Amino acid sequence: MYLVTGSTGGIGRRVVRLLCERERRVRAFVRLTSRYGELEHRGANIFIGDLRQEKDIQKACQGVQYIISTHGSGNDSLSLDYRANIELIDSAKATGVVQHFVFISVLGADRGYEDAPVFKAKRAVEQYLKASGLNYTILRPSGLASNLLPLAERFRDTGLYLLVGDPKNRTSIVSTDDLARMVVDSVTVEAARDQILPVGGPEILLREDIPRIFGRIFSQEPVVINPPLFMIDGLRSALGLFNPQEQKALGTFRTLLANEFFCTNEEITNLERIFNLKLETLENFLQRYLAV
Ligand SMILES: NC(=O)c1ccc[n+]([C@@H]2O[C@H](COP(=O)([O-])OP(=O)(O)OC[C@H]3O[C@@H](n4cnc5c(N)ncnc54)[C@H](OP(=O)(O)O)[C@@H]3O)[C@@H](O)[C@H]2O)c1
């Protein structure tokens, strides 16, 4: 039995689909408010709970051999990115039957960004998992292609693209379908065991390439709005006056905008070799989903 957290999210939903296609038994951890009908329809076993509740995590881990942690955190990194994953690891150890733990971290988790709660939580969980004695695979993706789908749809309607910060910053966006496959294969591929792997797409893009790709897909010249990064700083300062938690969460967002997140060609070649796949380009992913 596989336990998948975040199973209604961009990665988790694809992981559950793939496991169901491969006729594996899956327990999908969802919230009562989550949109989980499709997963149930595909044959996943639905576990309703809240990852902020230790008891729910302990119960969900019973009888599970593989744990795949893909949940996100909104603006509560301490409870979800950190505590929930620590509890998942502790519960996995306590059951004594978990054979592999797959954790979705983030590219750059090891760079010591002080002002980015998600990065700090991911790093701390990585270290805890490595020391746990469990078999593990830690995948560190850069951007996910599925995140760009709503932006592409907005572009189709308006021709506009909002690009905050330096348009020349490099990024390697991974197909979320490729990532889901790597997640699922991590538990069986020997070379992925006890590894921390940077994950990106097959090409290093500049952030300004993204509206160009949208433009090609929709045969429309992009209009790029490019506000400077200090506007985010202004917003953060204003927000901090009445919502300090949101201000901290914006620290992660600012870190993502201010830095480069890309994999080297060697890292991508290594990834393709380990998982025996040919990674798809961002343009290909978007074309498949947005076929016009
Ligand atoms: N997005 C990126 O570009 C990116 C890049 C690098 C790493 N990552 C990491 O990849 C992982 C998945 O990202 P994603 O974009 O696929 O996530 P996502 O689409 O934002 O999904 C988040 C998932 O977490 C669930 N969740 C949130 N709070 C929960 C709670 N209290 N109890 C139970 N479930 C809860 C959500 O359930 P609901 O459906 O109920 O909301 C949803 O299924 C995250 O760990 C993220 O940090 C993402």
Pocket test of ligand 1: the residue of 4, 8, 282 to mutate, having most ligand atoms within 8 Å of its CB, is 8
Residues lining ligand 1, judged by CB closer than 6 Å?
Answer: 6-12, 31, 33-34, 50-52, 70-72, 80, 104, 106, 118, 141, 143-144, 147
Domains in the chain, please, with CATH? Answer: 2-144+175-200+262-279 (3.40.50.720)
Pocket test of ligand 1: the residue of 4, 5, 31 to mutate, having most ligand atoms within 8 Å of its CB, is 31
Cβ atoms < 10 Å from Cβ of 234: 10
Average pLDDT over residues 133-155: 97
12 CA → ligand 1 middle, Å: 8
How far CA 71 is from CA of 112, 146, 221, 246, in Å, comes to: 22, 15, 36, 19
In this prediction the pTM is 0.95
Model pLDDT for residues 173-205, shown as the tens digit of each residue: 999 999 999 999 999 999 999 999 999 999 999
Pocket test of ligand 1: the residue of 71, 77, 87, 146 to mutate, having most ligand atoms within 8 Å of its CB, is 71
117 CA → ligand 1 middle, Å: 15
Percent of the chain clearing pLDDT 70 (strictly above): 98
Average pLDDT taken over every residue of the chain: 94
pLDDT of residue 241: 67
How far CA 145 is from CA of 1, 26, 288, in Å, comes to: 28, 25, 12
**Nearest atom of ligand 1 to the alpha carbon of 141:** 6
pLDDT classification of 28: cutoffs 50, 70, 90: very high
Model pLDDT for residues 85-95, shown as the tens digit of each residue: 999 999 999 99
Sole residue written with tokens 């296609």: 21
Sole residue written with tokens 């744990």: 67
**Residue 241 C-beta-side C-alpha neighbours within 13 Å:** 4
Checking if the pLDDT of 71 tops 70, the result is yes
Average pLDDT over residues 229-237: 75
